[in-house]
Every structure is written in C-alpha cells, then in structure tokens.
C-alpha cells in the first residue's frame, strides 16, 4: 500500500508545562486545513518508535497492542482518506478513500466528522492477552490513554487542538476500518484540528 513520508519539522511554540496548563477540549476548529507539519509532530511526539522496544509511552511488557488510524478530511498535502500510522518509520499508509456518509457512519455529532482529522486508536487484544490474559485488556486501555494524552498535549504545542470522543458508533467505525472485532477493537477517538484562539474549555 502507498506510504507517505512525514516531514521532520518542529512546530512547537510552548513548553510542556504550558501545554499541560493550556489544554482544553474544543468542539470547533479553525476553518482551514491542519498543517502536515503539525500532524507529523503530533504523531512523532506521541508514538514514534526510536527502536523496536521503546516508544514515548509505557506499554505493558513492551507489547504495543495499540494501533493508530487517521480519518483525514482536511490536512495540508494529504488526500482525504483513511490512513494507518507506522510508528517504526514515521510514515502514513494510505488505506482507502473516505465514505461520503462518514457523518452518519461514525457518530451523530456533526462537529466530530467536520474535524480535519479523526484519530482512531484500536487495540489488538491478542498482543497483550497472550502474556497477561484478562489483565492484558486493562493494560491495553491504559496504553491508549497514555497515547491520547501525548496527542492532546502535542496538539496544543503546535497551535492545534484535540477533543477526545467516546460517542462513536463502534460497529460502523470497525466496518469503515475493516476490523475484525474479535481481534482488533476501537477503544479511543480524538478529533484534531487547528485551534480557535478563544474557545471555551471543556
């Protein structure tokens, strides 16, 4: 499948402490594309693998059950479509085009599908289950939370913003991503886009 190499740009404008204190959840985004530089930095800071056993978040047993998909609607230099992030090489794999009925397929809230990017984190349960059994499920969810927080703080640092969203249609989203729910399941979504400067916090 086609792979897109992401730019190695640093667009950070604030410190980590400032990002932590400035983070809010926004249900609206600036009406412009998300820059490819911002998206690249968000993904790199959140999940890029410097080597086979290390990523910028903890993972039980270094098994890394969480996968990262992107439903791209409006990102500079990217065609609208569904992508998979490769943390080992910091690239996006283009999977297929977006459905015209994405809003109906994913959620009842239009603001989510109007976001330039919807990040979808999935868990491949067997990676943790084989070692930890039931506890592996809990470890996978904790890992998704760590990645999500990395993304939210990295977004703030690049003048973007993110909003975690739990109201997704799990079955339809799994169909869009062509997931086998017995093996891989959606656990977390985050809407991303350029920040509106005077948004109300949530």
Q: Which CATH number characterizes residue 16's domain?
A: 3.40.109.10
Do the beta carbons of residue 71 and residue 102 sit within 8 Å?
yes
CA diameter of the chain: 47
Is residue 200 included in any domain, yes or no? Answer: no
Q: What is the pLDDT along the chain (202 residues), one digit of tens a residue?
A: 789 999 987 767 787 778 776 777 777 788 899 999 999 999 999 999 888 778 888 888 888 999 999 999 999 999 999 999 999 999 999 999 987 655 556 665 777 778 899 999 999 988 988 888 888 889 999 999 999 999 999 999 998 999 998 888 888 889 889 998 889 999 999 999 998 864 444 5
Is residue 202 included in any domain, yes or no? Answer: no
CA 114 → CA 14, 31, 98, 108, distances in Å?
27, 10, 13, 12
pLDDT for 175: 87
Is residue 199 included in any domain, yes or no? Answer: no
At residue 118, the 3 state secondary structure works out as strand
pLDDT for 196: 83
Is residue 201 included in any domain, yes or no? Answer: no
Q: Residue 151 belongs to what domain range?
A: 3-194
Question: Which pair of tokens denotes residue 144?
Answer: 């998704």
pLDDT for 100: 66
- 150 phi, psi to nearest 5 deg: -55, -45
**Bridge partner residues of 13 (DSSP):** none
pLDDT for 201: 46
Give the total number of structural domains in the chain: 1
């Amino acid at each position: 499948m086609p792979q897109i190499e992401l730019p190695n740009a640093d667009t950070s404008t604030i410190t980590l402490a400032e990002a932590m204190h400035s983070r809010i959840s926004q249900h609206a985004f600036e009406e412009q594309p998300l820059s490819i530089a911002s998206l690249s930095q968000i993904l790199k800071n959140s999940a890029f693998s410097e080597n086979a056993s290390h990523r910028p978040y903890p993972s039980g047993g270094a098994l890394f059950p969480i996968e990262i998909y992107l439903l791209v609607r409006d990102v500079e230099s990217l065609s609208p479509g569904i992508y998979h992030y490769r943390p080992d090489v910091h690239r996006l794999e283009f999977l297929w085009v977006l459905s015209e009925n994405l809003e109906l397929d994913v959620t009842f809230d239009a603001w989510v599908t109007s976001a330039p990017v919807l990040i979808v984190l999935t868990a491949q349960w067997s990676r943790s289950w084989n070692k930890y059994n039931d506890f592996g499920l809990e470890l996978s969810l904790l890992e998704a939370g760590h990645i999500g927080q990395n993304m939210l703080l990295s977004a703030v640092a690049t003048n973007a913003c993110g909003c975690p969203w739990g109201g997704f249609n799990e079955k339809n989203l799994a169909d869009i991503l062509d997931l086998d729910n017995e093996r891989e399941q959606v656990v977390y979504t985050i809407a991303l886009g350029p920040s509106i400067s005077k948004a109300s916090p949530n």
